[in-house]
A = this chain, B = another copy of it.
Amino acid sequence: MFSIGELSKRTEVKVPTIRYYEEMGLLSEPERTEGNQRRYDVAGLERLSFIKHARDLGFSIEAISELIELQGHPDRSCQAATDIAVSQLSDVRAKIKRLRALEKELVRISKGCDGEGVSQDCYVLASLADHELCRHEH
């Protein structure tokens, strides 16, 4: 049995975050000591590792809820799990696409000024004031 602090160390999830996951229903309520402190078993550790891994991969709390729900029913179709993963992938790809456009624009903007001049003549400020100077969509 682990205390919340031990669980935190083993999973690299901060203590308040663990309590937050419990409140959100991702973690089931663990046993308590007589003095009301949480005590976790291996199942709790595995559950939290799952959540941590999914969060690291960018899945939302809501998506993780669904995945955990599915995990609890071994005989159910896993179509929903694949759907969630595919949708997460397309989210990530959309974000990358958008950030790449921003990157190009920011390269142009920051190359345009070395910081040696004054505000009035600054290419950075001029570029922000006028989207027409932009080469890409964003």
Identify the A interface with B (CB < 8 A).
46, 49-50, 53-54, 56-58, 67, 70-71, 73-86, 88-89, 92-93, 95-96, 99-100, 102-103, 105-107, 109-110, 113-122, 124-125, 128-129, 131, 138
Contacts and interface: CB of A to CB of B under 8 A. Distances in A.
Contact of A128 (B53, B86, B110, B124): B53
A123 B113 CA distance: 50
A95 to B, nearest CB: 6
B138 A109 contact: no
B115 A92 contact: no
A107 B89 contact: yes
Contacts of A122: 70, 78, 81-82
A70 B138 CA distance: 24
Contacts of A81: 113, 115, 119, 122, 124-125
Given A118-B74, A119-B78, A128-B67, A93 B85 contact: no
| Residue of A76, A89, A118, A125 most packed against chain B (CB within 10 A) | A125
B109 A70 contact: no
B115 A78 contact: yes
Given A99-B95, A138-B56, A89 B106 contact: yes
